[in-house]
């Protein structure tokens, strides 16, 4: 497995693979990899001849008061995980490689991105779409892998690929959780012992909401109110949002129907965590 930091090195590697007629999968990440990322890499390895993992903490998707500087980084550990999972190339560019002086072209989606996380993170998806669009153009993969953990991101990327005719397939992968239910996240590392315990209210509320839907409840307000009550019972938790939306449009729904996303963002102390469940009716 190789680790490269320039766009040219990625292009050269992919060109050599293409000459041999090999297929290429891409797993975009911000690094500090865990079993959630690993499940995406695993699936990419199963479905493609060659797999590129990008490890890039993308500055343009962080707001001015967010955790860009503090975001955890450990390339050696990431490389070991990628290698043991069967990835072939890590692309680890410096911000200047992706955004050289004079950079001024962004992908700005006008729907889907103002809902849910877009309300508190107004520039987030512009940064995500721009960096993912760039990665698609640099790697030109046949397939790219994204986690349902970031369900709005997955919906946004699917729409971007459709609208802008990127010639690849997007593969969504299920949320990987800790044994006690907490969704795995690089940001879990910010939690102290008390916060780690308190963070369980997210998955507790998610499992409760999912069970209500499975038991036939269709009224979004009823489900959301019970979920919010579980979270509000925890003193260290502060709700950013808990909402039910149509998975394709991100529009709020009153009644569970079609493909529904029930998503939440909750502050545990200063750490903002997200979780969700998706139901097909």
- Residue 186 in the binding site for ligand AMP (CB under 6 A): yes
Q: Please identify which residue in 43, 50, 124, 184 interacts with ligand AMP, judged by CB under 6 A.
A: 184
Minimum distance from residue 175 beta carbon to ligand AMP (Å): 4
Of 149 and 204, which CB lies nearer to ligand AMP in the complex structure? 149
Q: Please identify which residue in 24, 40, 53, 81 interacts with ligand AMP, judged by CB under 6 A.
A: 40
Minimum distance from residue 173 beta carbon to ligand AMP (Å): 6
Residues between 76 and 105 that touch ligand AMP (CB under 6 A): none
- Residue 176 in the binding site for ligand AMP (CB under 6 A): yes
3-state SS string for the chain: CEEECCHHHHHHHHHHHHHCCCCEEEEEECCCCCHHHHHHHHHHHHHCCEEEEEECCCHHHCCCCCCCCCCCCCHHHHHHHHHHHCCCEEECCCHHHHCCCCCCCCCCCCCCCCCCHHHHCCCHHHHHHHHHHHHHHHHCCCEEEEEHHHHHHHHHHHHHHHHCCCCCEEEEECCCECCCCCECCHHHHHCCHHHHHHCHHHHHHHHHHHHHHHCCCCEHHHHHHHHHHHHHCCCCEEEEEEEEEECCCCCECCECCCEEEEEEEEEECCEEEEEEEEEEC
Burial label, 40 (beta-carbon count in 10 A; 0-12, 13-18, 19+): buried
Active site positions, annotated: 37
Minimum distance from residue 37 beta carbon to ligand AMP (Å): 5
Minimum distance from residue 150 beta carbon to ligand AMP (Å): 4
Q: Please identify which residue in 117, 161, 183, 230 interacts with ligand AMP, judged by CB under 6 A.
A: 183
**Residue 201 · residue 230 · CB < 8 Å:** yes
Minimum distance from residue 4 beta carbon to ligand AMP (Å): 19
- Residue 132 in the binding site for ligand AMP (CB under 6 A): no
Minimum distance from residue 118 beta carbon to ligand AMP (Å): 16
- Quote the tokens at residue 115: 């809902």
Of 81 and 183, which CB lies nearer to ligand AMP in the complex structure? 183
Q: Please identify which residue in 26, 37, 124, 245 interacts with ligand AMP, judged by CB under 6 A.
A: 37
Residues between 17 and 36 that touch ligand AMP (CB under 6 A): 29-30, 36
Interface map 136-155 toward ligand AMP (x if CB under 6 A): ----------xx-xx-----
Segment interacting with ligand AMP (CB under 6 A) among 62-70, 84-92, 162-170, 173-181: 173-181
- Residue 173 in the binding site for ligand AMP (CB under 6 A): yes
Of 33 and 256, which CB lies nearer to ligand AMP in the complex structure? 33
Rounded to 5°, the CA angle 112-129-157 comes to: 60
Q: Parallel, antiparallel, or unpaired for β 259-268 and 271-280?
A: antiparallel
Of 17 and 146, which CB lies nearer to ligand AMP in the complex structure? 146
* Torsion from C-alpha of 159, 110, 262, 186, nearest 10 degrees: 80
Q: Which residues lie near ligand AMP (CB under 6 A)?
A: 29-30, 36-37, 39-40, 146-147, 149-150, 173, 175-176, 183-186
């Amino acid at each position: 497995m190789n680790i490269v930091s320039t766009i040219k090195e990625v292009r050269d590697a992919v060109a050599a693979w293409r000459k041999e007629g090999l297929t290429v999968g891409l797993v975009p990440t911000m690094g500090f990899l865990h079993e959630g990322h690993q499940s995406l890499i695993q699936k990419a390895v199963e479905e493609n001849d060659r797999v590129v993992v990008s490890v890039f903490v993308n500055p343009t998707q962080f707001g001015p008061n967010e955790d860009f500087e503090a975001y955890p980084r450990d390339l050696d550990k990431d490389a070991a995980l990628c290698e043991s999972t069967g990835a072939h190339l890590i692309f680890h560019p410096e911000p200047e490689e992706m955004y050289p002086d004079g950079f001024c072209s962004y992908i700005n989606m006008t729907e889907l991105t103002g809902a849910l996380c877009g309300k508190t993170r107004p520039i987030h998806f512009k940064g995500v779409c721009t960096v993912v669009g760039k990665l698609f153009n640099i790697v030109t993969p046949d397939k790219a892998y994204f986690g349902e953990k970031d369900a709005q991101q997955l919906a946004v990327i699917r729409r971007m690929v459709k609208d802008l005719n990127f010639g690849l397939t997007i593969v969504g992968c299920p949320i990987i959780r800790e044994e006690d239910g907490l969704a795995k996240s690089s940001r879990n590392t910010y939690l102290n012992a008390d916060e780690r315990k308190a963070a369980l209210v997210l998955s507790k509320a998610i499992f409760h909401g999912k069970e209500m839907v499975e038991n036939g409840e269709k009224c979004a307000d009823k489900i959301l109110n019970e979920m919010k009550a579980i979270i509000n019972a925890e003193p260290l938790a502060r709700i950013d949002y808990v909402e039910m939306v149509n998975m394709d449009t991100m529009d709020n729904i009153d009644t569970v129907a079609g493909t529904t996303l029930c998503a939440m963002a909750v502050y545990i102390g200063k750490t903002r965590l997200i979780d969700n469940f998706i139901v097909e009716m």
